[in-house]
Amino acid sequence: MDDQAKQNAINRLKSAVGHLQGIVNMLEKDTYCIDVIKQIQAVESALEKTSQLILDSHLHTCVTTAIKGDDSNERERVLSEVVEVFKWR
């Protein structure tokens, strides 16, 4: 992954950590359940954006290198990994 994408992803994950710690506080203070669920869903959205960012960098680096390379097994492996994370649930 290039350095900018890496730093961006790290910052987003650290922000998600802070968000989750805030949600723990909300629960300890007996915040209304629906408000807690909405905050958890906001963290999930932030995590998905982070995954998207990492995938973008991955496509520009490893996937591009593998496709340009001569090793067809490596190409297959790399492409099948992208398909695998595409829909993961």
Binding footprint of a copy of itself on the chain (CB under 8 A): 1, 6, 9-10, 13-14, 16-17, 20-21, 23-24, 27-28, 30, 32-34, 36-38, 40-41, 43-45, 47-52, 54-64, 67-68, 75, 79-89
SS3 content of the chain, % helix, strand, coil (to 5): 85, 0, 15
Tokens of 18: 């802070």
Tell me the closest approach of the beta carbon of residue 15 to a copy of itself, in angstroms: 10
| Residue 78: Cβ within 10 Å count | 19
User: Judged by CB, which is closer to a copy of itself: 52, or 71?
Assistant: 52
What is the DSSP code string of 48-63? Answer: HHHHHHHHHHHIIIII
Q: For residues 21 and 71, which CB has a smaller minimum distance to a copy of itself in the complex?
A: 21
